[in-house]
Amino acid sequence: MCARTHSVCSRPACSSVRLNSARCSVTGQRRMATITMNSTQITFFSFSAYFDTGRLKYLYFLVVMFIYSFIMFSNLLLIVVICVNRTLHEPMYLFLVSLFVNELCGSSGLFPLILVQILSDSHTVSVPLCFLQIFSLHFYGSVELFTLGAMSYDRYVAICCPLQYNVLMSLRKVWAMTASVWLYSVLATLAMLSLSGPLQLCGNIIHKVYCDNFSVVKLSCYDTTINNIYGLLYIFTVIAGLFLMILYSYVRILRVCLSGSHRTRQKALSTCTPHLSSMINFCFGAFFEIVQGRVSSALQIFLSLYTLTCQPLFNPSMYGLNLSKIRHVWQQTSELNVTY
């Protein structure tokens, strides 16, 4: 009797459990279908950092166009000056050519899209163009950092090992180092995109004025642990190792300057000041990129553009005005123009 009662009483409970299980299954399937539908429908990204400026957008367009034109002109001019004058075909100046060419690549990956967005009423970009910009900007940052690292090694050899400089920094080795920097940057950037490209996205709003990898990864529907691990490993191995090498180079240079003659100190300061200033400026830009998500929107736009705008403006000014050989070439060119 009791067994029958127990059997009768358990049937509603079993049916309720089955009903709840079926509902959970249907809900899960609907969520998966929604995620799949959202991820397959995303064909463009929207920039939320742009706002309506009315007729002022034409003024902003002219200002940004002037900055872009000045960056292109100043970097191209220094590239031509170094390439044309054989007296400047030395390791440090060849590294500068690589640096200036990289400034052109980075600026061309940023400013054209910003100019289009300033004049546009709908601030959107297609997914392929967004990933192309991500590749351009991250490639620019990698080449910039590793070229500055190569230049610090060049200054270390020139000041601390002057007798071995021609052997350790021959033109063939300089070209090999430069090619390695560019090739490694291509491979590292492609490896990053191979992790972020296949991600299924559940949103299309980027809270910046340009595309970057982290903003896209944050839109992923699923776990991005692999992307985070890759980023952390890259920071704490490659980038940290490069910064330690640069720090070691300048500690050794500082020792030589403190123990050397006045002429040695003056020469070291004249050649190291532009590079050290460029390195500090780049570090400030990286720091601003980290903290820009914690400030107001207007300041956030400025901080996110600092490295990509100030570095291409800063480098030609610093190297063009502070390196004596480039100044000497400028003086010769101006005297020739006055003569003719």
Question: Is residue 2 one of the residues assigned to a domain?
Answer: no
Q: From the centroid of its chain, how far is CA 154?
A: 23
Total of domains in the chain:
1
In this structure, is residue 56 part of a structural domain? yes
- pTM here is 0.82
Choice among 28-32, 66-70, 328-332 with the minimum mean pLDDT: 28-32
Residues linked to residue 206 through DSSP beta bridges, in sequence order: 47
Residue range(s) defining the domain that contains residue 132:
41-339
20 belongs to a structural domain = no
Exposure of 71 by Cβ count < 10 A (0-12 exposed, 13-18 middle, 19+ buried)? Answer: buried
201 vs 41: CA distance, rounded Å: 9
CATH number of the domain where residue 212 is located: 1.20.1070.10
Whether 207 maps to a domain, the answer reads: yes
pLDDT of 31 higher than 60: no
pLDDT tens, residue by residue, 208-265? 899 989 889 989 888 888 988 988 888 888 888 899 999 999 999 888 887 877 777 7
Give the mean pLDDT of 18-44: 51
Q: Is residue 317 part of a domain?
A: yes
Query: Which range has highest mean pLDDT (2-11, 135-144, 287-296)?
Result: 135-144
The number of beta carbons lying within 10 Å of the beta carbon of residue 263 is 8
- Reported as a pLDDT band with limits 50, 70 and 90, residue 322 is low
Residue 212 lies inside a defined structural domain of this protein: yes
Is 145 within the bounds of a domain? yes
